[in-house]
Amino acid sequence: MIIVNAIIDNMLHNALYMELLIKLVVAGSLSLIIGIERELKKKPVGLKTSLVIATFSCLLTIISIETAYSTPSRDDINITMDPLRLAAQVVSGVGFLGAGVILRKGNDSITGLTTAAMIWGAAAIGIAVGAGFYFQAFATVLIVVIGIEAVAPFLIKIGPKRLRMREVTLKVQINDIEKLPHLLEKMKDYQMVVEHVGIRDLSSDNGICWHEVQIRFTTLIPKDTITIYNSFHSLDYIKKVEVQYVA
């Protein structure tokens, strides 16, 4: 215990160690901003994951830089070290974590790309702070958060028509496949742009063969799920309706 206290006391009175400690604290603090943003949106990567990635990335960057400059030279061996060698490996290695949060759903939609980018970004924050680029790291976090929380929603509201359209998947069961054109016309009346249509047969029910139709479409009108559900459930040839917004 005495030895540990002596080591801590020596670190607190050493300017170099204090600078390294500040780097770790700054990296961890900036990563919390990203973590909070993901937590508020109920994404898989939150406070703890962002904190761990950024802090350890900062640590590895510090180790890489300090090792390159503190390794003693030798007359018989010419040692040449890249100060950011470990940091370069962090950039590629953290990609495995990002790949783990990218999911492909049954409706062919892909989610988790932003979260994966945030994982990579948390590592970048740690590397930047570890290399001493405090202002650049802070400015980057600020730009990213403002872009995600303010600029992107603003563009979705006033941007081009294609950008403002929401993607929705609709799964219905109909008893007469000849009614499908009528269903598609109905969707056109609701200003829904059909992107993909899939059909499969279901088991017969009292002599009636039901067909499951899965439609992926985009819509500009800001309808809620219940409104879309009621719009199709009122049709007499439809037995079952399932609506899902693509995140």
Domains for the chain: give ranges and CATH numbers.
2-70+80-158 (no CATH), 165-245 (3.30.70.60)
CA-to-CA dists, residue 65 to 1, 21, 83, 84, angstroms: 30, 15, 4, 6
Mean pLDDT of 218-231: 73
The predicted pLDDT at position 39 comes to 79
CA distance 36 to 139: 17
Residues 218, 166: contact at Cβ < 8 Å? yes
Q: Is the pTM of this model over 0.75?
A: no
Could you read off the pLDDT of 23-40 as tens digits, one per residue?
Answer: 888 888 888 888 888 777
Radius of gyration for the alpha carbons in the chain, expressed in angstroms and rounded? 27
Q: How many residues does the chain have?
A: 247
Q: What is the pLDDT of residue 247?
A: 55
Place of tokens 């937590």: 39
Buried-exposed string 63-82: b where 16+ CB fall within 10 A, e elsewhere: ebbeebeeeeeeeeeeeeee
Query: What is the spatial distance between Cα 169 and Cα 200, in angstroms, rounded to a whole number?
Result: 16
- Answer yes or no: are the C-beta atoms of 29 and 113 closer than 8 Å: no
Judged on CB neighbours under 10 Å (0-12, 13-18, 19+), 95 is middle
Percent of the chain predicted with pLDDT > 90: 0
Q: Exposure of 226 by Cβ count < 10 A (0-12 exposed, 13-18 middle, 19+ buried)?
A: exposed
Cα distances (Å, whole numbers) of residue 243 to 170, 182, 196, 223, 231:
5, 19, 15, 12, 11
- Identify which of 193, 189, 196, 208 has the alpha carbon closest to the alpha carbon of residue 171: 196
- What is the reported pLDDT for 149? 81
Structure tokens belonging to residue 40: 């508020």
Q: What are the tens digits of pLDDT across the range 188-209?
A: 887 788 888 888 887 666 666 7
Summarised one tens digit per residue, pLDDT across range 83-137 is 777 777 887 788 777 777 776 665 556 677 788 888 888 888 888 888 888 888 8
Tell me: pLDDT of 6 over 60. no
Predicted confidence (pLDDT) per residue in 143-194, tens digit: 888 888 887 777 777 766 666 777 788 888 887 788 888 888 888 887 788 8
pLDDT at 5 (0 to 100): 57
